[in-house]
Amino acid sequence: MSDARYAVGIDLGTTHCALSSVDLDASEWDEVTQDLMPVPQLTGPGTVAALPLLPSFLYLPHPDEFAVEDLTLPWDDRTDQLLGELARSVGARTPIRLVSSAKSWLCHPGIDRRSSVLPPGAPEDEVSRVSPYQASVRYLEHLRDAWNHAHPEHDLVRQEVTVTVPASFDPAARELTAEAAQTVGFRRLVLLEEPQAALYSWIHDSAGTWRKQVRVGDIILVIDVGGGTTDLSLIAVTARDGALELVRVAVGEHILLGGDNMDLALAHLVGGKLTATGTTLDHWQIQALTHGCRQAKEALLMDPSLEAVPVVVPSRGTRLIRRSLRTELTGGEVTHTLVEGFFPEVPVSARPAARPRAALTKLGLPYAQDAAVTRHLAAFLGMQKGATEDLPGFEPGGGSFLHPTAVLFNGGVFKANLLVERVMKVINDWLATDDAPPARLLAGVDLDLSVARGASYYGYVRRGGGVRIRGGTARSYYVGVESAVPAVPGVEPRIQALCLAPFGMEEGTQAEIPPQEFGLVVSEQVRFRFFGSPVRRDDQVGDLLEDWSAEEIEELEEIEAYLPAETRTPGEIVPVHLRASVTEVGTLLLEAMPLDGPEHWKVEFNVRNPANE
């Protein structure tokens, strides 16, 4: 079937991208030949160096900003956009032209993700802005070109490519990611959830010993705190035909809270000390301070005996000694701001202060309003307490939350052992209140690169080379149906939720067709309300829900169906069934199928914000 030589894993991260590959011809069973590709990129004008990571920043330069030849890459000389390390560093000086966190914008429900909105503050007539979707395409193009430059015999578009997405990405954001990868040309594409990729990497690194480190009945909690997002997943260890099997049973909601928030929090704290002495900091200095604070934080967290570490904000001009600002970061400040601010000891009944998606007052990313990762974690475990009820070999959970038995950390934040210890303590305190045994720490993951490495390893195991994590979709999906009751003036018609896709649909499968019919008007956009539930595991296709709580079912963006007038008259009403399937790539596909014909029409996820139209 395949002429692919490599399984390639791409971590398309909020702040960094990485690419790893497994040589399929040189790998057998647990003997896997894996590589991490250094990514050539502009590191300065006219300077190209290969770095392990590609910073996910896109910079839209002014025509007078760089000499044309200074933007040459080994494979092309596009001068209207530059990305990677140079984009990041010049963007610190000219933020109005810098696109950052495009991935977070890609799943932003409040904007049209295909319209050119980035950078959000850029003057429209000066900077030709890009869409979150286009930015993702650009990062993937760069990785493709870098790979092809290094492997001219093995074009990336013909290799088995796995692109990772946050487990919490909604169906629309997954589809946009898949579409971006397909636009770049990847023909053998699958998506993989990042926490799963981290676990795959851990399995690979254990060189076969993972089977001894976990046992049937274990529930592994993966806590992945990246640069911009926090992603949670629960993976259960079960047995099938005598062999261990892994089942991903639950994923958390999308939390825009990551390592960058933590560094920024420290920078504002230290910046506050400088402003108190009468200095004002500009954007560049805040960036430099953030960089300095990150270094100081790492030193303080590595060595608890240090009381304080100096932080210097270098001058922008040549007078480095006279104009640099000197201050310090103390161990107490790090403990207070980071450990207590982001990982406070809270009871398991604690919940985040506000719904993360509430009240968008202006165009910006919907950052988590509660910075406490441990409160988000408590909410997740509380909500998922029934996640393993249907699995054979698992005790019905008696406590107030799901009891993890092992924890895997991922993300550069957890290089600080102090934070790992704190989270473990919090979880084990929760477990102790329910008289449950403490959870174990699964150690040994490369915190920065495990997602890319796990993704390429996954491409290898998909061909039969090792254990796979099953699980399918981590939500059930519903379409809104107006109930047939007489209209009451002033009262909105009641909405029922019709289940289209049950929980846990595997890749490459189709759901049953629900009996309910919908009338679609030919040549007109028809919209439906659309819902997803991360906890309702027993609903079957065709089930109609009358009442539900906001905790168990979340409204997603609308879906819209459009019937072209090719074979029918505009305005005609066509009765259709709606059917859900999960594609081989791993995206959710909704189709409208007329009762009286063989056609299938794709029902699109609405990624446009109705408020903008």
Partner 1 sequence: MSESTPSVFRRFALLLSVFRRILTDARFAGQVAELHAGRATAASDARGGKETPRLREAEPNAGLQLLGLLQRDGRLIDFLEEDVGAYSDAEVGAAARVVHEGCKETLAQHFTIEAVRAESEGDRVTLAADFDVSAVRLTGNLVGQAPFTGSLVHRGWRVTETRLPQVATGHDLRILAPAEVEL
Query: For partner 1, which is the closer residue by CB, 286 or 513?
Result: 286
Q: What does each C-alpha distance from 505 to 20, 272, 479, 579 come to in angstroms?
A: 28, 50, 17, 13
Instruction: Give the closest residue to 192 by CA, choosing from 467, 439, 457.
Output: 457
Specify the residue, 33 or 295, whose C-beta has the smaller distance to partner 1.
Answer: 295
Residue 71 or residue 184: which is nearer to partner 1 going by CB?
71
Binding string, 40-59, against partner 1, x = CB under 8 A? x--xxxxxxxx---------
Binding partner 1 (rule: CB under 8 A), the pick from 67, 239, 353, 565 is 67
Q: Give the one residue of 319, 435, 549, 613 binding partner 1; rule: CB under 8 A.
A: 319
Per CB under 8 A, the list member of 23, 35, 70, 179 interacting with partner 1 is 70
Instruction: Give bridge partners of residue 442 from the DSSP assignment.
Output: 408
d(CA 230, CA 248): 17
- How many CA atoms are closer than 13 Å to the CA of 485, on its beta-carbon side? 11
Angle, helices 194-205 vs 450-460, to 10°: value is 80
Q: Which of 95, 110, 314, 444 binds partner 1 (CB under 8 A)?
A: 314
What are the angstrom distances between the C-alpha of 8 and each of 19, 173, 198, 479?
Answer: 7, 21, 15, 36
Q: 210: left (phi > 0), else alpha (psi -120 to 50), else beta?
A: alpha
Cβ distance to partner 1 smaller for residue 208 or 310:
310
Q: Is 466 helix (H, G, I), strand (E, B) or coil?
A: coil
Which window, 2-10, 65-73, 454-462, 495-503, contacts partner 1 (CB under 8 A)?
65-73
Q: Shortest approach of partner 1 to residue 378 CB, angstroms? A: 38
- Which parts of 508-547 interact with partner 1 (CB under 8 A)? none
From the list 295, 400, 509, 523, which residue makes contact with partner 1 (rule: CB under 8 A)?
295
**The binder of partner 1 chosen from 3, 278, 326, 515 (CB under 8 A):** 326
Instruction: Kindly tell me which of 45 and 399 has the beta carbon lying closer to partner 1.
Output: 45
Between residues 76 and 434, which has the closer beta carbon with respect to partner 1? 76
Q: Give the residue with the Cβ less far from partner 1, 324 or 525.
A: 324
**Residue 302 interacts with partner 1 (CB under 8 A): yes or no:** no
> Per-residue DSSP letters for 386-449?
TTTTTSTT-PPP-SSS---SEEEEESGGGGSHHHHHHHHHHHHHHHHHTTPPPPEEE----TTT
Backbone φ and ψ for 49, nearest 5 degrees, come out as -135, 150
Q: Work out how close the CB of 36 gets to partner 1 at its nearest, in angstroms, rounded to a whole number.
A: 15
Answer yes or no whether residue 123 interacts with partner 1 by CB under 8 A.
Answer: no
Q: Which of 118, 178, 224 is nearest to 448 (CA)?
A: 224
Which residues between 365 and 404 bind partner 1 (CB under 8 A)?
A: none
Q: Which residue matches tokens 């988590």?
A: 368
Smallest separation, CB 281 to partner 1 (Å):
14
Q: What angle do CA 87, 91, 92 make, to 5 degrees?
A: 130
Q: Among 280, 318, 549, 569, which residue sits at the site for partner 1 (rule: CB under 8 A)?
A: 318
Nearest to partner 1 of 54, 250 (CB atom): 54
Taking contact as CB under 8 A, which single stretch among the options 16-24, 312-320, 376-384, 550-558 is the one that binds partner 1?
Answer: 312-320
Query: Of 46 and 272, which has the nearer Cβ to partner 1?
Result: 46
What's the min distance (Å) between Cβ of 276 and partner 1? 18
Is residue 560 a contact residue for partner 1 (CB under 8 A)? no
Q: Which residue, among 140, 112, 117, 144, has the nearest Cα to 128 in the 3D structure?
A: 117
Binding to partner 1 (CB under 8 A) within 90-109 occurs at: 93
**Counting contacts by CB under 8 A, is residue 581 touching partner 1?**
no
**Nearest alpha-carbon partner for 35 in 67, 63, 69, 8:** 8
Does 310 bind partner 1 (CB under 8 A)? Our answer is: yes
Give the rounded distance of the alpha carbon of 183 from its chain centre: 20
Quick one: which of 316, 351, 425, 568 contacts partner 1 (CB under 8 A)?
316
Is position 321 an interface residue for partner 1 (rule: CB under 8 A)? Answer: yes
SS (H, E, C) 335-368: HHHHHHHHCCCCCCCCCCCCCCCCCCCCCCCCCC
207 versus 320: smaller Cβ distance to partner 1:
320
> Measured over all CA atoms, what is the biggest interatomic distance in the chain, rounded to whole angstroms?
81
Compare residues 324 and 510 and give the one whose CB is closer to partner 1: 324
Least CB distance to partner 1 at residue 129 (A): 19
Which residue, 9 or 40, is less far from partner 1 as judged by CB? 40
- Of 290 and 388, the one with the shorter C-beta distance to partner 1 is 290
Q: Pick the stretch among 67-75, 527-535, 542-550, 569-577 that binds partner 1 (CB under 8 A).
A: 67-75
Q: Tell me: does residue 277 bind partner 1 (CB under 8 A).
A: no
Please identify which residue in the block is written with the tokens 């910079």: 59
CB of 92 to partner 1, least distance (A): 12
Catalogue the long-range contacts made by 599-604 (C-beta closer than 8 Å, 24 or more residues apart). 599/567, 601/561, 601/562, 601/563, 601/564, 601/576, 603/528, 603/559, 603/560, 603/561, 603/578, 604/559, 604/560, 604/561, 604/562
320 contacts partner 1 (rule: CB under 8 A): yes
Backbone angles phi, psi at 498, to 5 degrees: -100, 125
Name 441's Cβ contacts closer than 8 Å, sequence gap at least 6: 406, 407, 409, 420, 424
Q: How many residues bind partner 1 (CB under 8 A)?
A: 29
| Interface stretch with partner 1, choices 122-130, 300-308, 313-321, 478-486 (CB under 8 A) | 313-321
The answer to whether the CB of 334 falls within 8 A of the CB of 317 is no
State which of residues 123, 277, 322, 484 lies at the interface with partner 1 (CB under 8 A): 322
CB count, 10 Å around CB of 287?
20
- Span from 38-46, 415-423, 496-504, 527-535 in contact with partner 1 (CB under 8 A): 38-46
- Given 324, 417, 483, 510, the residue binding partner 1 (CB under 8 A): 324
Residue 259 is given by DSSP the state H
Nearer to partner 1, 71 or 220 (CB): 71
Nearer to partner 1, 23 or 328 (CB): 328
* CA angle (537 as vertex; 531, 541 as ends), nearest 5: 65
C-alpha span between 392 and 13 (Å, rounded)? 35
Give the nearest distance from C-beta 48 to partner 1 in angstroms.
Answer: 4
CB 35 to partner 1: min, Å: 17
The footprint of partner 1 (CB under 8 A) covers 40, 43-50, 67, 69-72, 74, 93, 295, 310, 312, 314-316, 318-322, 324, 326
